[in-house]
Amino acid sequence: MVFEKERQVRQSSKRGRPGGRSAQVVAAVHAATRALLDEKKYEQLEIPDIAERAGVNKTTIYRRWPTKAELVLDVAVTQMRASVPLPDTGELTRDLTMLLKSIATALATPFSQGLLRAMISLPPREAALVQPERFWVQRFVDNAAVVERAIERGEISPDTDARQLLEMAVAPLFFQSLIMARPIAESDIDVIARRVVAAFRT
């Protein structure tokens, strides 16, 4: 059975609408996943429910995301990229402060809380297949430019490891959010940014 939204997507792509059928299906499935994770825990999330909410056939989802965890991981990466813009103020402390505040804001949402808790609580077998650490690797790759630009400006040591600097900066945010279950204060973020940058000064 072809669901109504898939029919509409096929028709719209034939009319030359931007994005194409595949992009529209991905957007619909991502939106449905986000909405359902706002309503229930990861453990209660089911692919048939996502398919129904998105208006697509569940086989459409399984072709692109073989497991629920892979779908949720893809949503997590996409959502974080959209909600955490990469700053470029010309000064590392300001850039890092803005980046950390954007991350803290994103972490404070029920959606992000659910995603992160789901990723760290995957059963070992599922975690081995999905490799949720890809989420963190992608985040470091996305944000490395902030550090690389600072190296080019001579603000920090040329042998600075971008991932190490970013790990030091974001670790307190995730600790507060996931372990302490409370948001981090903006004043604390300012202090973290200054101290991390100072540790890597030339």
Q: pLDDT for 1-20, tens place per residue? A: 433 444 443 443 343 444 57
CB-neighbour burial class of residue 180 (10 A; exposed 0-12, middle 13-18, buried 19+): exposed
Q: Tokens 């398919």 sit at which residue?
A: 51
Counts of helices then strands in the chain (DSSP H, E): 11, 0
The verdict on domain 4-64 having CATH code 1.10.10.60 is yes
Residues lower than pLDDT 70 in the chain: 1-19, 129-130, 132, 135
pLDDT digits (tens, 9 = 90+) for 100-130: 999 999 888 877 777 777 777 777 777 776 6
Return the CATH number of 71-199, one of 3.40.30.10, 1.10.3720.10, 3.30.300.130, 1.10.357.10.
1.10.357.10
> In the chain, where does the domain assigned CATH 1.10.10.60 lie?
4-64
> What pTM was computed for the model?
0.74
Q: Where do the CATH 1.10.357.10 domains begin and end in the chain? A: 71-199
